[in-house]
């Protein structure tokens, strides 16, 4: 793990955690390797339930339920698209749009790679908005409406603005020059019945350092 996780909010129903880059949300093939879930359970001294996940290369906000009942309620809220998710991404290029709805269908091509496929893909929607522009990069806010694997990464790549540092989508030699995948889960907004306002996760120092290199001050 590249950095220690941080507990952002704890309620009777769930725990909101800031996941660092380089650690999986749940156990992968090597069950002995640390994952965010096991580290959090060790910290809390209790079992937690997985509600949703972030890719290992992505930093930011993850929720874990603390009870089986809360797990059912939160999982249903995500499934019904009642949870508003906001990500920040540093992308290559200067988008010609201020905001767009990317709605290309996404298909799994194998070996973990996803891509746009109008015939075989599943319906997918991501709202994209430009927050800051640099000479050759932009900071984009992405709000996935559906929840396909790698959805934000694929939609930005298809739009001609691959996320900086994304070794799976984009020119590998160029992408390898960045220290990390520049995608961060920034905010979750739960339905009012959960009794909390928007939950924010500050961008980590390595993310901010790259923004400072490629963008004018915000």
DSSP string, 141-188: EEEESS--TTHHHHHHHHTT-PBTT-SSSS-HHHHTTSSS--EEEEEE
Cβ–Cβ < 8 Å for 153, 58? no
* C-alpha span between 168 and 181 (Å, rounded): 10
* C-alpha span between 210 and 165 (Å, rounded): 10
Phi, psi of 114 (to 5 degrees): -110, 160
Catalytic residue status for 55 = yes
Cβ–Cβ < 8 Å for 168, 113? yes
In this structure, the dihedral spanned by the alpha carbons of residues 142, 27, 200 and 151, taken in order and rounded to 10 degrees, is 10
* Catalytic entry in 12, 55, 103, 206: 55
Instruction: Tell me how long the chain is.
Output: 218
Kindly list the catalytic residues: 55
């Amino acid at each position: 793990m590249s950095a220690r996780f941080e507990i952002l909010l704890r309620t009777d129903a769930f725990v909101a955690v800031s996941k660092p880059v380089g650690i999986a949300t749940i156990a992968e093939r090597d069950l002995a390797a640390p994952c965010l879930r096991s580290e959090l359970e060790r910290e809390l001294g209790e079992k937690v339930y997985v509600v949703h996940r972030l890719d290992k290369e992505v930093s930011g906000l993850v929720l874990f339920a603390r009870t089986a009942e809360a797990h059912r309620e939160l999982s249903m809220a995500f499934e019904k698209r009642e949870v508003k998710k906001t990500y920040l991404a540093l992308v290559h290029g200067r988008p010609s749009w201020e905001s767009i709805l990317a709605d290309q269908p996404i298909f799994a091509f194998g070996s973990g790679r996803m891509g746009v496929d109008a015939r075989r893909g599943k319906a997918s929607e991501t709202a994209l908005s430009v927050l800051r522009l640099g000479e050759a990069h932009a900071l984009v806010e992405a709000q996935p409406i559906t929840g396909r694997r790698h959805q934000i990464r694929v939609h930005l790549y298809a739009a001609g603005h691959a996320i900086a540092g994304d070794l799976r989508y984009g020119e590998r030699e160029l992408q390898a020059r960045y220290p990390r995948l520049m995608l961060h889960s920034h905010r979750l907004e739960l339905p009012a019945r959960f009794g909390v306002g928007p939950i924010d996760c500050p961008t980590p120092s390595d993310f901010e350092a790259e923004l400072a290199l490629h963008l004018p001050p915000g």
